Amino acid sequence: MNMKVEEIIREVPELNHEFVSVESLRGGLSNQTYKVQTREHTYVLRINSRQNEYLNLTRRSEVEMMKKASHEGFAPRVISSNFPEQFVVTEFVKGRMLEKDDLKDDHIKGMIMDRLKRIHRMEGHGRICTPYDLIHGYLKGADQFQVKQPNGLNRLLHRVEEIMHWRSNDKEYNNKFCHNDTFLCNMIYTGQQVQIIDWELSGVGDVFFELAIIPFTNQFSETDEREWLKLYFGYFEEEAFHILQDMKFVSMVREAAWGMFYSGLTKGENHHDFDYYKHAEYCIQRIEQGIYQL
């Protein structure tokens, strides 16, 4: 067992009491997560990466929002958060990560939209995290790690800046609380409910950035995207479709910046079999080909 994991289990009474076993959980690329089994309960221990230091987001405010979402019934209950900058313990939600094929199920798709709307109604307690903050934070971190800048990035950043200024005029949908990381792998389907996990990037941001995450990672067709927007707003407007395309572009640039940052942060480590820098280059190549999907 990892020494740090062993120490945390000893420190947290709920984990230590009648401890049975611990196993690494797969799925996340940013943090280390473990399933901890005691005689009566199952928990998730997340050991945080250092990314929030570079993004100006406190773990304590993240935990506050996790508790609020849990109270509203669509996030796991927080068990221990005495040292939020280092780790957090939540209840283990029995279920499976949502997958692309689940988006064919209208009931599940409706539940996803219900969760997004409820997230966007939450109060952020001043916690701000826009897609532009994420890009800036990741690139600043990558620069500190002396990560080489891929060809073509500056031109893309100029376009992101244009989108940011244009979107600042939208006071209705550009100032709402967002999860900002609503990939399908962060949605657990219990068979009856959809639970949202990994709230570390949550903050006041742009609803359209949130709405772009699933379409740009699941190869939505134009028709799929129009239906997706209609499902959220209750109607379809051409302007919303164009905004979604811009946010898919921003999402791709965010992915590139994230890949650059993590290639520097994890240099010399072997936590994941994933080439972050190649991911950044891939995203930039896709954008240059006019493709705003992973």
Higher pLDDT, 83 or 120: 120
* Per-residue pLDDT at 270: 64
Residue among 1, 288, 2 at smallest CA distance from 155: 288
Q: By three-state DSSP, how is residue 1 classified?
A: coil
* Per-residue pLDDT at 52: 82
Whole-number Å distance between alpha carbons of 214 and 113: 11
Q: What is the pLDDT of residues 108-156, one digit of tens each?
A: 999 999 999 999 999 866 789 999 999 999 999 999 999 999 999 999 9
Residue among 106, 102, 96 at smallest CA distance from 190: 96
Token readout for 17 is 């009491």
Share of residues in the chain with pLDDT > 90 (%): 83
Higher pLDDT, 181 or 3: 181
pTM value > 0.75 = yes
Whole-number Å distance between alpha carbons of 244 and 63: 29
Higher pLDDT, 184 or 54: 184
Is residue 97 over pLDDT 70? Answer: yes
Token readout for 9 is 């289990």
* Per-residue pLDDT at 111: 97
> Do 254 and 135 form a contact (C-beta atoms < 8 A)?
yes
Mean pLDDT (the chain) is 93
* Per-residue pLDDT at 272: 63
Token readout for 226 is 């129009």
Query: Rounded to 5 degrees, what angle do the CA atoms 244, 245, 247 make?
Result: 65
CATH 3.30.200.20 matches 3-92: yes
Q: How confident is the model at residue 237 (pLDDT cuts 50, 70, 90)?
A: very high
Token readout for 176 is 């709402």
Sequence-ordered list of residues with C-beta below 8 angstroms from that of 49, at least 6 positions apart, any chain: 30, 31, 32, 265
Sequence-ordered list of residues with C-beta below 8 angstroms from that of 74, at least 6 positions apart, any chain: 115, 118, 193, 194, 195, 196
Q: Where are the domains of the chain?
A: 3-92, 97-288
Extended beta strands in 179-286, E state: 187-189, 194-196, 203-205
Mean pLDDT across 76-101: 94
* Per-residue pLDDT at 176: 94
Return the sign of the alpha-carbon dihedral for residues 238, 244, 250, 253.
negative
Eight-state DSSP code of residue 284: H
Is residue 267 over pLDDT 70? Answer: yes
> Do 59 and 70 form a contact (C-beta atoms < 8 A)?
no
Phi, psi of 72, rounded to the nearest 5 degrees: -85, -5
Phi, psi of 227, rounded to the nearest 5 degrees: -65, -40
Token readout for 179 is 């999860």
DSSP states along 223-259: HHHHHHHHHHHSS--HHHHHHHHHHHHHHHHHHHHHH
| Fold held by 97-288 | Aminoglycoside 3'-phosphotransferase; Chain: A, domain 2 (3.90.1200)
Is residue 42 over pLDDT 60? Answer: yes
Q: What is the pLDDT of residues 158-203, one digit of tens each?
A: 999 999 999 999 999 999 999 999 999 999 999 999 999 999 999 9
